[in-house]
Amino acid sequence: MLIKSGDTVEVTTGNDRGTRARVASVLPAPSDGGANRVVVEGVNRVYRHVRKSQKNQQGGRLSKEMPIDASNVLFVCSACGKATRLGARINSDGSKVRYCKKCGAEHGVLRRPRSASKTAG
């Protein structure tokens, strides 16, 4: 999954469609033991009923954000301002980067450049 915590995304389906917000956390693909879901701030809020306790003196209903599927959000490019898919490409120096599919702007390194000493030998 190319979406990371802190990215701005736009929700494409559901009650919160069209909402642009920041990704709070990422639950990666099932092969990594996750669920391929993201938690987006202010999106998919549910009520959690809690009993009075020392930790929660008042009790009642707490509103919390639940994860949504990663396929239901699109990355918002900071360069062009559009909701778009992300791609991954390898630069000439061997580093792997995320890039916007619409304008081609780079959005962070996924893998640092490979050094020549490790590959030779």
1-51+61-76: CATH number: 2.30.30.30
**What is the per-residue pLDDT for 116?**
54
Which pLDDT score is estimated for 88?
A: 94
Q: Spell out the domain ranges in the chain.
A: 1-51+61-76, 84-121
What is the reported pLDDT for 118? 56
Read off the amino acid at residue 73: V
pLDDT of residue 121: 47
Per-residue pLDDT of the chain (121 residues; tens, 9 = 90+): 899 999 999 999 999 999 999 999 999 877 777 788 999 999 999 999 999 999 889 989 999 999 999 999 999 999 999 999 999 999 988 899 999 999 999 998 888 887 755 555 4
Buried b (16+ CB within 10 A) or exposed e, 90-112: eeeeeeeebbbeeeeeebeeeee
What per-residue confidence (pLDDT) applies to 8? 96
pTM comes to 0.80
pLDDT value for 30:
79
DSSP codes joined into one string, 30-89 = GGGTS-SEEEETTSSEEEEEE---SSSSS-EEEEEE--EEGGGEEEE-TTT--EE-EEEE
Query: Which token pair is 24?
Result: 């709070």
What pLDDT score was predicted for residue 6? 94
